[in-house]
Amino acid sequence: MSLSVIAVISRFLEEYRSSTSNKLKVIDAYLLYILLTGAFQFLYCLLVGTFPFNSFLSGFISSVGSFILAVCLRIQINPQNKGDFLSVSPERAFADFLFAHTVLHLVVVNFIG
């Protein structure tokens, strides 16, 4: 509590800018974009109403799902986490990411109605 919140956050951002590699920053930018699309869909639903509910759900879950899968990819290709994932190389992580997205979007398209 002795340090102000602003100071903490600015120090965190500085440290983030300097220590994360470019690959991870690209994924983080993508995560921010997905977060914004999810937030906009939720805002739209609050304003306009939930009909048709299955379409809203499929769109929202698509955003959340893409966010989660991108986070998983980020965790798996981060060289600092290599000890946790002995059987998963970065190439394998990316292939899994594509496979998961295929399944997710097939279901989302079926659910959109």
Find all residues with CB under 8 Å of 52, minimum gap 6, and list them.
Answer: 113
Is 21 an interacting residue with respect to other proteins (CB under 8 A)?
A: no
CA distance linking residue 98 with residue 46, whole number of Å: 32
Cβ contact 53:107 at 8 Å:
no
Nearer to other proteins, 26 or 98 (CB): 98
CA distance linking residue 22 with residue 38, whole number of Å: 24
Where do we find the tokens 């002795």?
Answer: 2
Q: Which of residues 82-111 bind other proteins (CB under 8 A)?
A: 84-85, 87-88, 92-93, 95-97, 99-100, 103-104, 107-108, 110-111
User: Using CB under 8 A as the criterion, which residues of the chain lie in contact with other proteins when the complex forms?
Assistant: 1-5, 8-9, 11-12, 15-16, 19, 53-54, 57-58, 61-62, 64-65, 68-69, 71-73, 75-76, 81, 84-85, 87-88, 92-93, 95-97, 99-100, 103-104, 107-108, 110-111
